[in-house]
A and B are shown apart, each in its own frame.
Chain A
Amino acid sequence: MTPRAVAIAGIGQTAYARALPRTAWELAIEAVLSACADAGLDVAEVDGMCRFTEPFETVSEAMLVRALGIGELSFFAQAPHGGEALGAVLAQAAAAIEAGLARIVVVYRALSQSQGGRFGRADGRGPGVATRASGGAADIIVPETGNLSFAWPYGLMSPGQLFALWATRYEAAHGLTRDQLTTALGSIAIAQRAYANRNPNAMMRDRPMDWEAYQNARMISEPLRLFDLCLENDGACAYVVTSAETARALRDDPVYVLSATQTLSPYREPMGIYVQGDLLELFPPAAAERLFSGAGVTRKDVDVAEFYDATSYMPLRSLESYGFVPDGKAWRYVAEQGTGPGSPLPVNTHGGHLSEAYLHGMNGVLEAVRQLRGTSFNQVPGAEVALVGAPAGSATILAR
């Protein structure tokens, strides 16, 4: 990928709320139209789409082409692993544009958890769970897919529970007390809530949170409390990817893609906890090097980071795995320096999934674009370079 060959020319989003009276399809349509309008494009010009695979994304490109009256797509692709694909869909879109497979690619993500099932619940969702009669009671049979048949029978069913295992291991591996871990996780959750309080689009905009409120929240899966876990909501995001040349013709402030990368190693897919060696290594150091060397920037050049945060543990560990803080030091770093305004690296300045809304990493991309345009509600002064990263699967570096 050539740095600055491809740019994001438009962003769009719906309102975010616990329940919206609209389908995911309707939400996707609004976000895509909004992103095209922001780019100054007629949606009819779209000739490419990238999205997450099902079961995560339920709105297909076929549904959107049909509903939006798009004549023809010449490129469309999907990336697996849910939020881990936040940079993958952009990498695919950028590659397609550089290769000449499409001219205007829309990337989108639409969620209706109120209608389609909450991600924090295992009943009513999950891998096609069947039941059978057994001694008068119905058993739940977990089909073997992605090793879930070895986890669900023990009651390990949700991402939050899994990341509690990572957080506990982190605590033990680095010799933290439980209080030190709680301080680190809480520092992240509270900083993100404060950002959300200044973001009128954030679900938690009117809900301040102090240490007492954080610590008094109920334990969900120790060591993770309620406010260490992401929101569950409805909403949609979309953005328009095109060549730098086209983007400059459309607007004065395109946001350039410096690099984007995917990564997959054995058992590093979501819920893939059976990794051999160090469980804590998530985003591989080699992939981080690829991301930065491809972008031609160093860690010091990055002004703001938007880290995927289904739990507060993920930004904590991402500070280390992307190389901003040495391994095992982020817990002290976030407690002492923080991730808020004026910190060395502001993180999740929209409030993140913990406090803005859960859009599977896509709202982090939109916030990075706003930062680089200078239009964030929590603007980092003079922000020029932003990193958007998933815990283990993909990432991108963007610049103005």
Chain B
Amino acid sequence: MSGGGAGMSGGEGMAIVPGMTELTRPYWDAAAEGRLVIRECRGCGRLQHPPVPACPACHGADFGWREASGEGAVYSYTIIRHATHAALADAIPYVVALVELAEGPRLVTGITGCPPESVTVGMPVRAAFRRVTDEVTLPYFEPA
């Protein structure tokens, strides 16, 4: 846990967790097993995140999930110092980042394992998983 990066399970014991659809559940199920996966078109190999029902490149509808390396770099970030939700009152300051995976897609995620002030654009990072409830684990990233 970084300085204040206490995960989104702050005030009053509330955790903020993703609702899941048929399309998105495999992503979160993999995260619960400590794996980062990205939806892949079996027709043309294009990766997509977040998942959409069709492949925008070939309009194929046959998809699998590719195991990502978990390596990437910070594309942008912000240190959030003002909580916009009661559940986050104890979490600030925390870092929200856009991480560009080595495989290409970008994820919205959090940066952990370092002081918020040490995060920079371009910083190499690797996946680190944070269990926020019994059922839900979120992919985070830490300095590589």
The reply to whether the CB of B108 lies closer than 8 angstroms to some CB of chain A is: yes
Determine the chain B residues whose CB is within 8 A of the CB of A168 once the complex forms. 76-78, 121
Q: Are B98 and A153 in contact (CB under 8 A)?
A: no
Q: A139-B15, A140-B14, A155-B85 given. 10 additional CB < 8 A pairs?
A: A139-B14, A149-B24, A155-B8, A155-B16, A157-B85, A169-B75, A172-B76, A219-B79, A274-B49, A279-B98
Residue from the set A120, A136, A152, A156 with the largest chain B CB neighbour count within 10 Å: A156
Determine the chain A residues whose CB is within 8 A of the CB of B98 once the complex forms. 165, 169, 273, 279
The reply to whether the CB of A221 lies closer than 8 angstroms to some CB of chain B is: yes
Q: Are A161 and B96 in contact (CB under 8 A)?
A: yes
Query: Which residue of chain B lies nearest to A132 when distances are taken between CB atoms in the complex?
Result: B17
Q: Are A218 and B82 in contact (CB under 8 A)?
A: yes
Q: Are B80 and A140 in contact (CB under 8 A)?
A: no
Known: A149-B19, A220-B82, A222-B79. A169 touches B14 (CB 8 A): no
- Give Cα distance in the complex from A344 to B118, angstroms: 39
Query: Which residue of chain B lies nearest to A173 when distances are taken between CB atoms in the complex?
Result: B121
What's the nearest-Cβ distance from chain B to residue A271, in Å? 10
Known: A165-B76, A279-B76. A218 touches B8 (CB 8 A): no
The reply to whether the CB of A95 lies closer than 8 angstroms to some CB of chain B is: no
Please report which residues of chain B, range 91-121, place their CB below 8 angstroms from some CB of chain A when the two chains form the complex.
Answer: 91, 94, 96, 98, 105-110, 121
Q: Are A222 and B81 in contact (CB under 8 A)?
A: yes
Interface string of A153-185 (1 = CB under 8 A from B): 111111001001110110110000000000000
Q: Are A123 and B86 in contact (CB under 8 A)?
A: yes
The reply to whether the CB of A121 lies closer than 8 angstroms to some CB of chain B is: yes
Interface string of B27-57 (1 = CB under 8 A from A): 0000000000000000000000110000010
Q: How many residues of B contact A (CB 8 A)?
A: 47
Determine the chain B residues whose CB is within 8 A of the CB of A141 once the complex forms. 17-19
Query: Which residue of chain B lies nearest to A128 when distances are taken between CB atoms in the complex?
Result: B19
What's the nearest-Cβ distance from chain A to residue B65, in Å? 15
- Give Cα distance in the complex from A140 to B81, angstroms: 21
Q: Are A221 and B19 in contact (CB under 8 A)?
A: no
Determine the chain B residues whose CB is within 8 A of the CB of A161 once the complex forms. 78, 80, 84, 96
What's the nearest-Cβ distance from chain B to residue A180, in Å? 15
Q: Are B17 and A153 in contact (CB under 8 A)?
A: yes
Q: Are B84 and A139 in contact (CB under 8 A)?
A: no
The reply to whether the CB of A266 lies closer than 8 angstroms to some CB of chain B is: yes
